[in-house]
Amino acid sequence: MSPEQATILKILRTRCAHGPVSYHDYIETVLYAEAVGYYCRNNVRVGRSRDRDFYTAESLGQVFARLIVGAAESLLGAEQAAHSTFIEIAAEPGQSLLDQVAQHPFAAGRVIRLGEPVRASGPVVIFANEWLDALPCHRLVFQDGSWHERAVGFQQDRLTETRLASPTPPVREAIRHLPTEMEEGYQLDLPLAAEAALSALLAQDWTGLLLLCDYGKTIQALLQDCPHGTARCYYRHQQDNDLLDRPGEKDITCDLCWTRLQALLAQAGLSGITLESQESFLIQRAAATAEAIVTGSAGQFSRERQTLMQLIHPANMGQRFQMLWGRRKA
């Protein structure tokens, strides 16, 4: 057991001293406990090498950066882009999307690291690649004719899964909108922290473009096609579903609920709200950039063209990831 894991278990024992804690609180601890949580350690998590845990579209290099910049300029128009600050949320330490392009059309760029306060104002392009899925989720289960909130506690020295006596307030509110008849034992992982984070961002005084790249499902799919929930772990590029194993050493994530996030954008007055696959977004919104990559090395092997295909091919990232975007006018 690593010193960091031992510290996390000590924190969890303290938090569970008077009973089990919600999965949200458990995941928040193992991911974000100061200096020892998965996202707060001084280590490299993202990349394709064997000692990393997962890779993202952005970690594939400058091709993705060029495509996002091209799409943002296309959606905003050159004049508005030239007066906008490009804000990237949740970029990996020491990295940013704009650092990967030789030049960009925006007035300025700013990076907000994971865990830092998210603030935006004025004319902006707000871009986030896998920001919301990194926030804690709540776990629900349908048993004995009603929804209950799953929890984590200790049985002697071992972490175990149990149920809360009554749901936490966010879950209690969410249950009001869920079906009252379900398959016994059906599990639902709700990323309510993601919705709260997006709501806080939408409440701020900014105009321009919001562009979220992530993975998720509609509420119908979450309630019909995922009887075991969608929460999962990643460690050394291997996926598993044991959220209690190796706390603090594995990434924990779940699919977003696009239906609820789209509703938040609509309530905040954004226009042109669109949810589409990464494949569709990059081909349609960054068409000029994609074409330049394809034709730039016609007849030759091209690593950039190969990366483009990985980003848009349905069997790779093209369908697994989605883009949710919308505009806010002044």
User: Residue 151 belongs to a domain with what CATH number?
Assistant: 3.40.50.12710
Q: Model confidence at 57, in pLDDT bands (50, 70, 90)?
A: low
**Measured distance CA(16)–CA(207) in Å, rounded:** 43
Q: Worst-scoring range by mean pLDDT, 1-5, 27-31, 107-111, 163-167?
A: 1-5
Please give the average per-residue pLDDT across 48-75, as a whole number. 77
Pure H helices in 35-168: 62-76, 78-82
Query: Per residue, what are the HEC states of 108-133?
Result: EEEEEECCCCCCCCEEEEEEEECCHH
Task: Give the model's confidence band at 56: pLDDT under 50 very low, under 70 low, under 90 confident, else very high.
Answer: low
Please state, rounded to an integer, the average pLDDT across all residues of the chain. Answer: 90
Between these two residues, 309 and 118, which has the higher pLDDT value?
A: 118
Q: Are 186 and 141 in contact (CB under 8 A)?
A: yes
Is pLDDT above 90 for 271? yes
Q: Residue 254 in 3-state DSSP? A: coil
Domain that holds residue 282: 3-328
- Residue 170, pLDDT > 60, answer yes
Closest to 68 (Cα-Cα) out of 12, 113, 3, 126:
126
Taking only the tens place, the pLDDT of each residue in 126-143 is: 999 999 999 999 999 999
Mean pLDDT over residues 27-40, rounded?
A: 92
Do residues 317 and 57 touch, judged by C-beta distance below 8 A? yes
Question: Rounded to an integer, what distance in angstroms lies between the CA atom of residue 308 and that of residue 318?
Answer: 10
Pairing of strands 21-22, 206-214: unpaired
Task: Kindly give the pairing relationship between strand 158-163 and strand 251-253.
Answer: unpaired
Number of domains in the chain: 1
Residue 316 has pLDDT above 80, yes or no: no
CA distances from 98 to 61, 90, 312 (A): 11, 13, 21
Is pLDDT above 60 for 165?
yes
Residue with the larger pLDDT of the pair 289 and 200 = 200
- pLDDT on residue 298: 61
Residue of 182, 146, 165, 161 lying closest to 231 (CA atoms):
161
| CB environment 282-310: b (16+ within 10 A), e (fewer) | bbebbeebbeebeeeeeeeeeebbebbbb
Where residue 59 falls among pLDDT bands split at 50, 70, 90?
A: low
For 54, 216, 235, the CA distances from 322, given in Å and listed in that order, are 18, 7, 23
What b-and-e string marks burial along 225-241, b requiring 16 or more CB atoms within 10 Å of the CB? Answer: ebeebbbbbbbeeeeee
- Residue the block writes with tokens 């704009």: 98
Nearest to 132 by CA among 308, 307, 312, 265: 265
Q: Cα–Cα distance between 57 and 59 in angstroms, integer?
A: 5
* pLDDT tens sequence across 272-308: 999 999 999 999 999 998 888 878 666 566 788 788 8
Contacts of 2 (CB under 8 A, 6+ apart): 248, 249
CA–chain centroid gap for 190, Å, is: 13
User: How far out from the chain centre does Cα 110 lie?
Assistant: 19
Averaged over 12-33, what is the pLDDT? 95
